C-alpha cells in the first residue's frame, strides 16, 4: 500500500507542476494575446533588389562529357539603383519532366540602374547527365 501512495503522490505532484506551468490563457484568466493585437504596418517594406531584375535570352547546354551545365543569360536591371552579387538558380528536369537537380551561381558583377548585362558561358557546375530541361530564375541580389 505504501508503494501505491508513493505513485499517487508523484502523479499528483506532476499534475500540480503542469497546472502551475500552464500558460495563463488556458487556465481561465485574461489572455495576453488578446491584448497585443498587430496593426497594419505604416509603411510597406521595400521590395528586394531581385524583384527589379529580369533574366532574358537565357540559353543553356551540357558540356564536359554531359555533366557540366553552361548558361548564357542577359540580366536587365529595372531598379532605380545599381545591383550586385546576383544569385541565379536553375532547376533541371529529365525527359519525364521530373525535377532531378538544381544548379546555382552568384554572379559577382554590378549592373547599373536601367541597364542590362550579358553573361556568356557561365559554368553552373556539375549536374545530372539526364538533364534535358531547365528553368532559371534570380533568387537574390544586393543593392549597390
Task: Read off the pLDDT of each residue in 35-63 and give the average, rounded to a whole number.
Answer: 75
Q: How does the average pLDDT of the chain come out, rounded?
A: 80
Which pLDDT belongs to residue 1?
A: 57
Say yes or no: 23 and 83 in one domain.
no
Say yes or no: 20 and 54 in one domain.
no
Task: Read off the pLDDT of each residue in 32-54 and give the average, rounded to a whole number.
Answer: 65
- Per this entry, what is the length of the chain? 144
| Cα gap 52→111, rounded to integer Å | 11
Q: How confident is the model at residue 10 (pLDDT cuts 50, 70, 90)?
A: low
Which pLDDT belongs to residue 31?
A: 43
Say if residue 28's pLDDT is above 90: no
The total number of structural domains in the chain stands at 2
- What SS3 class is residue 136? strand
Q: What is the CATH number of the domain that holds 118?
A: 2.60.40.3230
Q: How confident is the model at residue 45 (pLDDT cuts 50, 70, 90)?
A: low
- Which residue in 33, 14, 15 sits closest to 23, CA to CA? 33
Q: Which domain holds residue 19?
A: 2-27
Half-sphere exposure of 10 (CA within 13 A, CB side): 6
The answer to whether residue 38 sits within a structural domain is no
Task: Read off the pLDDT of each residue in 83-93 and give the average, rounded to a whole number.
Answer: 96
The answer to whether residue 15 sits within a structural domain is yes
Say yes or no: 91 and 56 in one domain.
yes
Q: How confident is the model at residue 58 (pLDDT cuts 50, 70, 90)?
A: confident
pLDDT tens-place string over residues 115-137: 999 999 999 999 998 999 999 99
Amino acid at each position: 500500500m505504501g508503494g501505491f501512495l508513493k505513485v499517487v503522490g508523484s502523479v499528483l505532484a506532476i499534475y500540480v507542476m503542469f497546472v502551475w506551468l500552464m500558460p495563463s490563457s488556458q487556465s481561465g484568466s485574461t489572455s495576453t494575446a488578446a491584448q497585443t493585437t498587430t496593426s497594419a504596418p505604416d509603411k510597406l517594406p521595400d521590395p528586394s533588389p531581385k524583384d527589379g531584375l529580369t533574366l532574358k535570352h537565357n540559353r543553356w547546354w551540357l558540356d564536359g562529357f554531359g555533366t557540366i551545365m553552361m548558361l548564357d543569360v542577359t540580366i536587365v536591371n529595372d531598379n532605380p539603383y545599381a545591383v550586385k552579387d546576383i544569385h541565379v538558380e536553375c532547376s533541371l528536369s529529365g525527359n519525364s519532366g521530373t525535377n532531378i537537380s538544381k544548379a546555382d551561381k552568384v554572379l559577382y558583377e554590378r549592373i547599373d540602374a536601367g541597364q542590362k548585362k550579358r553573361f556568356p558561358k557561365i559554368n553552373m557546375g556539375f549536374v545530372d547527365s539526364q538533364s534535358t530541361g531547365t528553368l532559371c530564375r534570380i533568387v537574390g541580389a544586393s543593392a549597390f
